Structure 1
Amino acid sequence: MNELDWVTKGTDGFEDELKRLEKAYSFVTTGTIGNSATGKPISFARIGTGPFRWHFNGACHANEWITTPLLTRFVVEYAEAISGKKTFWGKSSEDLLARNSLFVVPMLNPDGVALARHGLTDDHPFSEGLYQWNRGSNRFHRWKANARGVDLNDQFPAYWEEEASRRGVTSPCARDYGGLGPLSEPEAAALVAFTERNDFHAVIALHTQGEEIYWNYRGAEPPESRVWAERMALAAGYRAVYLEGSDAGYKDWFIHRFGRPGFTVEAGWGRNPLPTDGFEELYDDIARLLAEALDCSPAATGRR
């Protein structure tokens, strides 16, 4: 596939791609973690049954939808490398498989992505509200929120009240409204339940843009978080950044809840939505970063 094929396949048809992998490879399973505000399924793929459980997710923010084909392509190429017993971005794919179970949610916010990519349709269940929340415009290419005008990365129960006060946004809109309370939105609640159910050892939330990796949260992160972030940053040519003054994100909640490594990766550089003509270069960086993340897992772990 060329880059435009991947962008199209990775957003409008990525579920079919995941199902194809499940049929082709015994080490791939797929399913859903729940449904969006309009009832769309939120799909995931799992590769392997190794002892260390990694989770990657993308398209939390609608106008960052390019993260969906990035993650989809990564999953496809990782599965193909395992099947062919080939190296994967300089790593032994067989070794990574033996050490890791990888759970990937390529598109957390399917309603928002549909708006950002295709605009508002007359039969949308929230069409009247969305038109008003978008300041009377039918152009949704910069929309970040879900279909109810809630920013999903301000939805998690990690000092949610402080983030809401800092944002100062009190009603649905394109970005930065944290909702009526933490986990009020089905997408965020589904991700929390999925995380709790699978007891992940480490997570990456893939966003755009800035070429940065945020690895800390209020001192609750373990010592290996900075080391791993620096390894991933070196692999991708990104910066590992100590971040303060931000709460209620998914990686914030994960670190706060479990005290385990959690990362927000800001892929690429520019203005969201990132242009598709840079997809191949963007993927090269992100694939190296994610492969390095898998290689950070210990050779053996007693964690269950």
Structure 2
Amino acid sequence: MSTESVAAKASMSASEVRQMIREGSLRVPTTGFAEGFMQANLVILPERHASDFRLFCERNAKSCPLLGIGKPGDPGLPELGSIDIRTDVARYRVYRSGEHTETIANLSDIWRDDLVTFALGCSFSFESAILRAGIDIRHISANRNVAMYATNLPTNPAGPFAGSMVVSMRAFRPADAIQAIILSDRYPLAHGAPVHIGDPADIGIKDISRPDYGDPPVIEPGDILGFWACGVTPQLALQQAKLDLAITHEPGFMLVTDLPADLAGPPGKEAPRN
């Protein structure tokens, strides 16, 4: 991807990205879009399971940092922006009885009055800080989705929700890796520092070239591999819980919020204006 294209994506406001998604003119992963604004993972489930899922998030805050919770039946998330959760994510995954049955671009036809929305922090939110430091993020430069993997790292169960952790992977030159790790550590609401660095086999990843979600990674000789807790983790928990209906984002196709990314990290930064 050209430098100009990367800059154009980054310069968009959160509301501009959401409007394009709502209109159907943006159907790509949101990595690199709306620099300075927090992106969010999405889980929508019936109200009767909401308290257990909230507890799951609290017990697994590294993977599931809570940004906001909607009211039953309300598609808005006013604390995160002027959002209609039925239309403002480019692609949604629908689970029925634990099975991923369909991927759709709009929830209006299946929305129910008992559905509760959870917005969870996303590692895309700390990528802006890494880019500002002059460090290349390979999947952005290659115009790819980030690579994501199921691991053997367990989560702490709550009610029907359990399973293993999903991680996102970023490869860096050794000269850049430590700085990238330090920068991400400043963003706890965007998963913070990596949960693993080095050999993917140590966390149960058999083939780094074949991610479970997202696109194949761009790895160069001598790279150091960093693995961050990922907000796709609840999708494995939802499969195990086998709810009658649950909805998430398609991995990499995030909700772009009006929250400043630095709200999750270092204090003292001026919030971007939408």
Shared fold per TM-score greater than 0.5: no
* Greater strand share, structure number: 2
| TM-score normalised per structure 1 | 0.28
* Greater helix share, structure number: 1
Q: Say which one has the larger Rg.
A: 1
| TM-score normalised per structure 2 | 0.30
